Homo-oligomer: A and B are copies of this chain.
């Protein structure tokens, strides 16, 4: 089982709101950025998927907000591929402040593979070599993460 490196950057000014902290919708975008980075690490980059006519749709999303990030604060998104089967992909996320080391946000997302006409694709059957690349990164859901939520 291969490990994914966390995705890291700092908070942008326009991501803060008048409360002086990151607007809660932006963490969803941080998950998105991390997912793109993780797929690239796993050699199944969006470019490759799209060149094969495979689209990745988001089916559901959960977020638990613990502590807000502030302007210019460095953060890391630790993503874990918790499940891949023929048609769907699931990830857990943990956003951690590079300044305090504390968890800011927990997240979970579910995605499905479709063709360009939005019809579901059975990845395992149709693109087994792509499926295998995903499978190499799957990690059983850690107990402590769940209880921590």
**Which residues of A come within 8 Å of B, CB atoms?**
9, 12-14, 16-21, 23-26, 28-29, 32-33, 36, 45-47, 55, 57-65, 68, 71-72
Known: A57-B65, A61-B63. 4 other contacts (CB 8 A): A9-B9, A17-B17, A25-B29, A59-B65
Do residues A13 and B32 form an inter-chain contact, with CB atoms below 8 A? yes
- A63 to B57, alpha carbons, bound, how many Å? 13
The DSSP consensus for interface residues of chain A is mixed
Report how far A64 CA is from B112 CA in the complex, Å: 13
Question: Whole-angstrom distance from the CB of A105 to the nearest CB of chain B?
Answer: 10
Shortest beta-carbon distance, A101 to chain B, in Å? 19
